[in-house]
Chains A and B, each alone.
Chain A
Amino acid sequence: MSQEDNLRATRAEEAQSGGKNRQREDRRDVAVPALGFKDSLRFAWRQLTSMRTALMLLLLLAVAAVPGSLFPQRPAGPEIVNQYLEDNPVQGEWLDRFQMFDVYSSVWFSAIYILLFVSLIGCVLPRAAKHAKDLRSAPPRTPRRLNRLPEYGKVVLESTGPSPRDAVAEAARILKKRGYRTDIREEPDGGASVGAERGYVREIGNIFFHLSLIGVLAFMAVGGLLSYSGQKIIVEGEGFANTLVAYDSFTPGSAFSEDRLEPFSMTLDGFEAVFDRESETHYGQPLDFTAHMTVQEGTDGEATQQDLKVNHPFDIGGTRVYLVGNGYAPEVTVRDGNGDIAFQGPVVAQVQDQLYTSLMVIKAPDAQPEQLGFVGFFLPTAYTGEDGVAVSIDPELYEPELNLNSYYGDLGLDDGEPQNVYVLDTDNLTELNNRDLESGGITLSPGESYDLPEGKGSISFDGVQRYVGLDIHHDPGKWGVGFFAVLALVSLGVSLFVRRRRVWVRSATGPDGSTMVEYGLLARGEDFGLREENVSLRRQFEKAWPVVAPEDDPDNRQTASSTAGTTGATENRPE
Chain B
Amino acid sequence: MQSINLQLASYSDLFMLIAALVYAAAFIVFAIDMATSSKTIRILEAELAAESGASGDASAAAQRREQLVGAGVVGQEPAAGSSATVTGRGGTGEKTGAGNTDQNLVDEDMAYLGTTRRPAANVAVALMVISVLLHAFAVIARGVSANRVPWGNMYEFCTTGALLVAAVYLLFLIRKDLRFLGTFVSGLVVVMMCAATMGFPTPIAHLQPALQSPWIVIHVSVAVLASALFGLTCAMSVLQLLQHRREARLRTGGEGKPAFMRLVPSAFSLENWSYRINAVGFVMWTFTLIAGAIWAEAAWGRYWGWDTKEVWTFVIWVVYAGYLHARATRGWTGDRAAWLSIIGFACLVFNFTIVNTYFPGLHSYAGIPE
Segment at the A interface, from B25-33, B38-46, B231-239, B318-326: B318-326
A307 within 8 A of B: no
Which residues on the B side are within 8 Å of A5 (C-beta)? 71, 74-75
Q: Is the pair B306, A564 in contact by a Cβ cutoff of 8 Å? A: no
**A565-B113 contact given A51-B328, A65-B311, A69-B312, CB 8 Å threshold:** yes
Least Cβ–Cβ distance between A486 and chain B, in angstroms = 7
Partner of A526, one of B71, B275, B306: B275
Least Cβ–Cβ distance between B72 and chain A, in angstroms = 10
- Quick one: CB contact mask for B260-286 with A, threshold 8 Å, 1 for yes? 000000001100100110010011001
A11 within 8 A of B: yes
Which residues on the A side are within 8 Å of B293 (C-beta)? 485
In the bound complex, how far is the Cα of B216 from the Cα of A310, in angstroms? 14
A19 within 8 A of B: yes
In the bound complex, how far is the Cα of B355 from the Cα of A5, in angstroms? 43
Residue ID in chain B nearest A66 by CB atoms: B315
In the bound complex, how far is the Cα of B58 from the Cα of A129, in angstroms? 51
Q: Is the pair B3, A7 in contact by a Cβ cutoff of 8 Å? A: no
In the bound complex, how far is the Cα of B302 from the Cα of A283, in angstroms? 32
Residue ID in chain B nearest A54 by CB atoms: B325
Residue ID in chain B nearest A274 by CB atoms: B1
Least Cβ–Cβ distance between B246 and chain A, in angstroms = 18
Q: Is the pair B82, A15 in contact by a Cβ cutoff of 8 Å? A: yes
Q: Is the pair A52, B276 in contact by a Cβ cutoff of 8 Å? A: no
Segment at the B interface, from A179-187, A284-292, A428-436: A284-292
Residue ID in chain B nearest A15 by CB atoms: B84
Q: Is the pair B325, A564 in contact by a Cβ cutoff of 8 Å? A: no
Q: Is the pair A288, B299 in contact by a Cβ cutoff of 8 Å? A: no
Which residues on the B side are within 8 Å of A59 (C-beta)? 318-319, 322
Give me the 10 closest cross-chain CB pairs, A-B, nearest first.
Answer: A15-B84, A12-B81, A281-B203, A12-B78, A473-B301, A282-B205, A310-B209, A62-B318, A69-B311, A69-B308
In the bound complex, how far is the Cα of B3 from the Cα of A287, in angstroms? 12
In the bound complex, how far is the Cα of B79 from the Cα of A310, in angstroms? 63
B218 within 8 A of A: no
Segment at the B interface, from A20-28, A293-301, A382-390: A20-28
Which residues on the B side are within 8 Å of A8 (C-beta)? 75, 78, 85, 87, 92
Which residues on the B side are within 8 Å of A488 (C-beta)? 286
A327 within 8 A of B: no
Least Cβ–Cβ distance between A273 and chain B, in angstroms = 9
Q: A65-B314, A311-B213, A492-B282 are in contact. List 19 more A-B contacts (CB 8 A).
A: A1-B109, A3-B272, A19-B84, A26-B84, A51-B328, A52-B332, A55-B329, A58-B325, A59-B318, A65-B318, A150-B74, A229-B302, A281-B203, A281-B205, A287-B1, A310-B209, A311-B210, A496-B279, A561-B67
Which residues on the A side are within 8 Å of B204 (C-beta)? 279, 281
Q: Is the pair B283, A493 in contact by a Cβ cutoff of 8 Å? A: yes
Q: Is the pair B3, A278 in contact by a Cβ cutoff of 8 Å? A: yes
Q: Could you show 9 A-B contacts with beta carbons less than 8 Å apart?
A: A8-B85, A12-B79, A51-B328, A73-B306, A150-B74, A285-B205, A492-B282, A561-B63, A566-B107
**A55-B332 contact given A1-B71, A279-B205, A311-B298, CB 8 Å threshold:** yes
Interface members, chain B 93-122 (any A CB < 8 Å): 95, 107-109, 111, 113
**A55-B325 contact given A9-B78, A12-B82, A287-B1, CB 8 Å threshold:** yes
The A/B interface has a contact count, at CB < 8 Å, of: 214
Partner of B301, one of A55, A286, A320: A320
Interface members, chain A 100-131 (any B CB < 8 Å): 103-104
Which residues on the B side are within 8 Å of A575 (C-beta)? 58
Chain A interfacial residues counted at CB < 8 A: 86
B137 within 8 A of A: no
Q: Is the pair B330, A22 in contact by a Cβ cutoff of 8 Å? A: yes
**A489-B325 contact given A12-B81, A278-B4, CB 8 Å threshold:** no
A309 within 8 A of B: yes
Which residues on the A side are within 8 Å of B87 (C-beta)? 7-8, 11
Least Cβ–Cβ distance between A54 and chain B, in angstroms = 6
Which residues on the A side are within 8 Å of B369 (C-beta)? 281
Partner of B208, one of A148, A220, A287, A324: A287
Which residue of B109, B213, B307, B332 has the most chain A CB atoms within 10 A of its CB atom? B109
Q: Is the pair A22, B205 in contact by a Cβ cutoff of 8 Å? A: no
Which residues on the A side are within 8 Å of B108 (C-beta)? 1, 565
**A25-B301 contact given A68-B311, A279-B205, A561-B63, CB 8 Å threshold:** no
**A489-B287 contact given A68-B311, A285-B205, A562-B71, CB 8 Å threshold:** yes
Interface members, chain A 463-501 (any B CB < 8 Å): 471-473, 475, 478, 481-482, 485-486, 488-489, 492-493, 496-497
Least Cβ–Cβ distance between A269 and chain B, in angstroms = 19
Q: Is the pair A285, B206 in contact by a Cβ cutoff of 8 Å? A: yes
Which residues on the A side are within 8 Å of B82 (C-beta)? 12, 15-16, 23
Partner of A311, one of B84, B95, B290, B299: B299
In the bound complex, how far is the Cα of B325 from the Cα of A526, in angstroms? 12
A39 within 8 A of B: no
B168 within 8 A of A: no
In the bound complex, how far is the Cα of B230 from the Cα of A109, in angstroms? 27
Q: Is the pair B208, A285 in contact by a Cβ cutoff of 8 Å? A: yes
Which residues on the B side are within 8 Å of A289 (C-beta)? 209
Which residues on the B side are within 8 Å of A486 (C-beta)? 290
Which residues on the A side are within 8 Å of B305 (C-beta)? 75-76
Q: Is the pair B318, A282 in contact by a Cβ cutoff of 8 Å? A: no
Which residues on the B side are within 8 Å of A286 (C-beta)? 208-209
In the bound complex, how far is the Cα of B70 from the Cα of A78, in angstroms? 66
Partner of B311, one of A1, A66, A150, A274: A66
